[in-house]
Structure 1
Amino acid sequence: MSSWRDRVTSALPRLAVASHDLVMVWLCWQVLHRLRYAMLPESPDFPLWSNEVAIVLLGQGMVFWWMGLYRGLWRFASLPDLWNLLKASALGSLAVVAGLFFYNRFGSVPRAVLGLYPFVLIGFLGLPRLVYRAWKDNQANRSHEAASRVLILGAGRAGEALVRELRRTGIYYPVAFLDDAVRLHGSKLQGVPVLGGLESAAAIARETAAKLLVIAMPSLDAPAMQRVVAICESTGLPFRMVPRLVNVLEGQSMPGDLKEVAIEDLLGRKSVMPDWKLIRGWLGGRTVLVTGAGGSIGSELCRQCARHGAQRIALLEIDELALITIQGDLQRAFPDLEILPVLGNCGDPAVIAHALRISEPDAVFHAAAYKQVPLLEQHLREAIGNNVLATETVARACRETGVATFVLISTDKAVDPVNVLGATKRLAEMTCQALDDGRASTRYVTVRFGNVLDSAGSVVPLFREQIRKGGPVTVTDPEVTRYFMTIPEASQLILQAAAGAAHASIYTLDMGEPVPIRLLAEQMIRLAGKQPGRDIAIVYTGLRPGEKLHENLFHVDERYRPTSHSKIMQAEAREVSPEFIELALQRLRGAFVRYDTAELQEVLRVAVPDFKPLIREEDANGASANIVVFPAREARKTR
């Protein structure tokens, strides 16, 4: 009963509009006839209803319905709606002419009426719609006293659409635009004046009594966005921004939302446009298994795979809370997706064999790893166990079961490694390369990239928490830099690389320009409405064990060539001896069982010739200063 009532209730507005339009058609027909007959000396009586009137209403009404005239709302009537009215009137007049011709060959209808009918009908139909919209807009404008006054930066398409949305909600009242285009100054957009350039934001905000600034320039690059944010900060007012189109398409924001300016908006990462056709062709209808599925990269890989056609996803995770969290997220977002959660350690051969048996995946993404540089310097055994031996266990099991593609998520720290994380990840790369010896059907693909913004354990959530507590924000060194990209961007490029990868291939993602961590901290403090050094202190603590000032993306002995995607480079892998790698893994397994860290360290250094551990002065001299000294090394010759 309730569903029947709901259908009737939802149909009433359309029936009311349809009835209105038919009344307007009848009225238009009556007015045109009476005006035509008024020109005669003796005006005949024109009936209010006749067969001709019925034909007109029937023909015009059918055209209205066929044109979908009742799918829109009067509240949002605009030029496209008027264009639809014009087409409906023109086509309706043809239907009326055809109907009257077959009825009585126009025996009782003046030709002048037929000629004027479509043009007059547009006015009868369009005027009430525009009056209704103007009345609703006027109501919204009259309620602006209770709404927050908004100053909009950017008088382009995004700004124009923003004004429409703000007026519809009634929560905010747009008072003015600012734009650097001088030709726009003094003009009006949707009735809102453009009062000047962006640099005058502080003065105009005071004059207009604005309470909020909104940046309506979603396509700005990093330097321009940093400038605009600095202008907003100078006003002392809160500010928001219109979300980027890619955020709306990925479901991270809703159209019309106002979002806080995030640190990724200031770092210059341009939107990634992968080859979705290639990715969907590779993933569509297939099964994938993700190790470390509850982590930052692992969970986003699961979402991206589900979004782009995977039929079944196996989630392998050792952390029960992380596993149940990503399982719940996927179930809510993708109710038709088949999800196979597996709780366990991917380094356990029985666990990975069970996961592969129940899922029978076409591709395995190995995202499980230990990644915290200072911690791993003190836990060599666990780093080798998780980053090397577990990788070998998963990769070998994929080969034995005939998995089509194995993707290793690596790191830029594997290039010229100076710490345990980099060395273990480099050895994991070499292990995969050794397994892909030409006899295996499995493609082994390695993807390297740097830090991801807002990942668990990264500096962004650490800085955010320190700022929330009032500081200080701790930075290791004033000169330290790192490469950054967003989690969705990294995951999308991983899929792009894996979809078109060759056997034993190593890919490096274009990370853009390195970001000074000091600048990152200062920007995050400003985004929180504070001033660095005044409201929130920045303290430099010195580089931690295993850390260096700058990371490298490319190895001097690896040649790199572009791929079909501009942000992915393929490395020419260095030669690896499968026998040598197998011997090293055997020694590591034995030393791992015995907890022999000395042998683990020795084997790691021999297996990874590029591994040059950093020497700290406090280790060499017993001093307490935390200063990193890079050892001298011989210059290499490029091939």
Structure 2
Amino acid sequence: MAFHLRFNFDVPPVFQGYFLDSLPAVFIFYSVCFYVFGLYRGLWRFASLPDLKRIVRAIAFGALLMVSFALLAHPSIIIPRSVLFIHPMLLVIMMGGSRFLYRSWKERRLFNNVAAQGKPVIVIGVEDSSLNLIKELSKSPEWRVVAMIDPSKKLVGREIMHTKVEGGLEDIPQIAERYGSLHCMIAMPGSRHEKRRAAVEAARQVEGMEVLTLPAMSDLISGRISLSQIRKIDVEDLLGRDVVQLDTHGLSQMLAYKVVLVSGAAGSIGSELCRQILSFHPTQLICLDISEYALYTLQQEFSQLVTDTELVYLVADVKNQARIQRILAEHHPDVVLHAGAYKHVPMMEHFNVVEALQNNAYGTYQMASACQQVGVPTFVLVSTDKAVNPTNVMGASKRLAELICQGLQHGAKQSVTRFITVRFGNVLGSSGSVIPKFREQIAQGGPITITHPDITRYFMSIPEAAQLVLQAATMGNGGEVFVLDMGTPVKIVDLARDMITLSGLQAQDIQIAFTGLRPGEKLYEELLADDENTLPTSHEKLRIARARSADHDWLQALLSWLQQTPTMSDAQIKKDLQRWVEEYQPDPRPAPEVFTRGSALTLGTLPSPSQQIH
């Protein structure tokens, strides 16, 4: 074809001979190039831009060989220079075009007729993920994309992949009625959570509309969207938060090729810390927990991973001084993250007061002081917002843990250990949180039990909490109490109503019962005490609390008192706690009575019928 174009479809006989003489070299050179560049391995049905790039590279390399052959190897064979340029261009057009035409024909034949019978669906969002989603949906017999929604309205009226952008969020009811669609998919993983929530709220205005979504960017491992990643909208999406921007260079310097120990490693936060740490390739990760079964579960999960990190699983009690010292002396960790604690407020408030103090406060001292003795460079205490103006023993015990770390930091004349405290609120889906409990109650038909109609809490996802804990560890100089940006507090009753509607039910289908505040529970949690203020840091989601500190003498007196608590009554311990934690205001309600019926032991009092159903 190149010869014909060069000579206006009238090739002189002499050049016909040159053409035939050069044809074997053309077959050999290009066949070798096509094989080397992998053109024979691809499937035409899935041809895409990477295949076109391979075609261009293979043809360009083959053309260079042909030029070299024509000019150097056989100068007696005359090939017009224009043919040497026309020939590779024709090859690119014919090879690329044939693949494109075949893929178009195949997809139209296999998918379009079937997809036309699928359920009409509206796609909300105009991002790269939206385009990938439409490609996937066009191949599915279950779905048929009928319209797109642009929340910004900038592309209204335009067409994307033969799908028209019909309007903005407020137009969803009319568009859904026009196409008879009761399904919409939110494809906005790169947008802020406020925009995603607005899209969900707009879609939920349509009665019977089922809202599906793609995972947030932090959950997407690959850039390619697949139908398996589409799921129903969940309460975590409504409470979702923006993607955390991490100082990966600083985290890599702190964790890569280092030995890291996580206490409470099998818990919600501890296990996520381990997952995040593994991505930075430490030499050794020591997972320490008091629960044998929980640690076994973590081991089974990590056994499925391919990692170059040595994983060590240790069952140990942080209160066991000899055991902790021996572990630290044997492994010499560079970073210790102390996430082990008793955290269930009502459980620790009565009958378990001593254990709360021994584990949360005295256990922190044993771990932190042992780290200081062996010279661990970085110790991070995972604290809680319940340590601020605590009204319960759990919060007071965690505030003591914070003060213990500060006392060790300021009391030692020469300490190589940086003691850093990170304080945050509730995490979504953690063990003991309300969301799994509400799901179970909805599945049982209700009622959903809430302690008070006005109770509010801060919420954060487990991965975000773990990421910010690690980020704070790279920034602290020692003695700081970092406070995480927890966003806007959420009313628990609103959370329950959202979960009811997201389950496909109406608000009146599931009753909400108010049972009264539990022992030690507050209506709202604070992140800063009344006499504290904060200083900004280089990270927008981290601030430093200027909290009351402790010195060496105070710490020694506290330790003497903690050693005496096992012989003291709960009432006496709570009274003394007000001396050690000045901001502690204990719950004035008495402990529930303990009474027996037959052989059964029952703790607590039952709410009255009026309290059960409000």
Q: TM-score range by the shorter chain?
A: 0.7 to 0.9
What displacement does 1:227 show? 2.8
Match for residue 586 of structure 1? 560
Q: How does 1:59-98 map to 2 (within 5 A)?
A: 59-61=29-31, 63-64=33-34, 69=39, 73-79=43-49, 81-82=51-52, 85-86=55-56, 88-90=58-60, 92-98=62-68
Whether the aligned pair in 2 keeps the contact of 1:241 and 1:260 (CA below 8 Å) is yes
Structure 2 residue aligned with 1:160, among 113, 131, 154?
131
Q: Is structure 2 residue 349 aligned with structure 1 residue 377?
A: yes
Q: State how far apart, in whole Å, the 1-side matches of 2:177 and 2:607 are.
A: 53
Q: State how far apart, in whole Å, the 2-side matches of 1:339 and 1:93 are.
A: 53
Structure 2 residue aligned with 1:132, among 102, 108, 115?
102
What displacement does 1:266 show? 1.4
Structure 1 residue aligned with 2:363, among 390, 411, 417?
390
Structure 1 residue aligned with 2:299, among 312, 324, 327?
327
Structure 2 residue aligned with 1:230, among 190, 197, 201?
201
Match for residue 570 of structure 1? 544
What displacement does 1:595 show? 4.4
Whether the aligned pair in 1 keeps the contact of 2:458 and 2:490 (CA below 8 Å) is yes
Whether the aligned pair in 2 keeps the contact of 1:165 and 1:256 (CA below 8 Å) is no
Whether the aligned pair in 2 keeps the contact of 1:162 and 1:256 (CA below 8 Å) is no
Match for residue 21 of structure 1? none
More off after superposition, 118-127 vs 491-500:
118-127
Structure 1 residue aligned with 2:506, among 527, 531, 542?
531
What displacement does 1:615 show? 3.2
Q: State how far apart, in whole Å, the 1-side matches of 2:333 and 2:591 are.
A: 49
Q: Is structure 2 residue 339 aligned with structure 1 residue 364?
A: no
Report percent identity of matched pairs: 39
Match for residue 385 of structure 2? 412
Whether the aligned pair in 1 keeps the contact of 2:406 and 2:551 (CA below 8 Å) is no
What displacement does 1:175 show? 3.0
What displacement does 1:67 show? 5.5
Whether the aligned pair in 2 keeps the contact of 1:291 and 1:317 (CA below 8 Å) is yes
Match of 2:232, SS state, is coil
CA separation of 1:156 and 1:367: change in aligned 2, threshold 3 A: closer
More off after superposition, 580-589 vs 366-375:
580-589
Q: Structure 2: which 5+ residue stretches go unaligned?
A: 593-604, 610-614
Amino acid at match of 1:57: F
CA separation of 1:542 and 1:461: change in aligned 2, threshold 3 A: same
Q: State how far apart, in whole Å, the 2-side matches of 1:115 and 1:389 are.
A: 81
TM-score, normalization by structure 2: 0.88
Q: State how far apart, in whole Å, the 2-side matches of 1:521 and 1:352 are.
A: 42
Match of 1:243, SS state, is coil
Q: Is structure 2 residue 444 aligned with structure 1 residue 469?
A: yes
Match of 1:315, SS state, is strand
Q: State how far apart, in whole Å, the 2-side matches of 1:82 and 1:468 are.
A: 52
Match for residue 317 of structure 1? 289
| Cα RMSD (Å) | 3.1
Q: Is structure 2 residue 7 aligned with structure 1 residue 33?
A: no
Q: State how far apart, in whole Å, the 2-side matches of 1:174 and 1:480 are.
A: 42
What displacement does 1:475 show? 2.1
CA separation of 1:41 and 1:283: change in aligned 2, threshold 3 A: closer
Whether the aligned pair in 1 keeps the contact of 2:264 and 2:338 (CA below 8 Å) is yes
Q: How does 1:587-602 map to 2 (within 5 A)?
A: 587-592=561-566, 594-602=567-575
Which string of whole-angstrom CA distances, capped at 9 and with x for unpartnered residues, describes residues 456-505 of structure 1? 00111111111111212222222221111111111111111112321222
Match of 2:518, SS state, is coil
Q: State how far apart, in whole Å, the 1-side matches of 2:314 and 2:590 are.
A: 45
The total of aligned residue pairs comes to: 592
Match for residue 579 of structure 2? 606
CA separation of 1:65 and 1:42: change in aligned 2, threshold 3 A: closer
Q: State how far apart, in whole Å, the 2-side matches of 1:473 and 1:37 are.
A: 85
Q: State how far apart, in whole Å, the 1-side matches of 2:175 and 2:302 are.
A: 47
Q: State how far apart, in whole Å, the 1-side matches of 2:181 and 2:18 are.
A: 57
Match for residue 479 of structure 1? 454
Match of 2:196, SS state, is helix
More off after superposition, 254-263 vs 565-574:
254-263
Which string of whole-angstrom CA distances, capped at 9 and with x for unpartnered residues, describes residues 49-84 of structure 1? 844123333444455456665675433334564455
What displacement does 1:155 show? 3.4
Structure 2 residue aligned with 1:277, among 245, 249, 255?
249
What displacement does 1:427 show? 0.8
Whether the aligned pair in 2 keeps the contact of 1:247 and 1:253 (CA below 8 Å) is no
Q: Is structure 2 residue 422 aligned with structure 1 residue 447?
A: yes
Match of 1:364, SS state, is strand
Amino acid at match of 1:359: H
Whether the aligned pair in 1 keeps the contact of 2:258 and 2:283 (CA below 8 Å) is yes
Match for residue 102 of structure 1? 72
Whether the aligned pair in 1 keeps the contact of 2:182 and 2:209 (CA below 8 Å) is yes
What displacement does 1:159 show? 1.5
More off after superposition, 283-292 vs 344-353:
344-353
TM-score, normalization by structure 1: 0.85
Which string of whole-angstrom CA distances, capped at 9 and with x for unpartnered residues, describes residues 432-475 of structure 1? 11122233322211111111111100111111111111212222
CA separation of 1:62 and 1:556: change in aligned 2, threshold 3 A: farther
Q: State how far apart, in whole Å, the 2-side matches of 1:357 and 1:610 are.
A: 37
Whether the aligned pair in 2 keeps the contact of 1:327 and 1:341 (CA below 8 Å) is yes
Whether the aligned pair in 2 keeps the contact of 1:617 and 1:623 (CA below 8 Å) is no
What displacement does 1:96 show? 2.0
What displacement does 1:394 show? 1.4
Match for residue 597 of structure 2? none
Amino acid at match of 2:546: E
Which string of whole-angstrom CA distances, capped at 9 and with x for unpartnered residues, describes residues 385-437 of structure 1? 11111111211222222222221111111122222121111111111111222
CA separation of 1:352 and 1:570: change in aligned 2, threshold 3 A: same
Q: State how far apart, in whole Å, the 1-side matches of 2:225 and 2:273 are.
A: 19
Amino acid at match of 2:572: E
What displacement does 1:335 show? 4.2
Structure 1 residue aligned with 2:172, among 194, 201, 205?
201
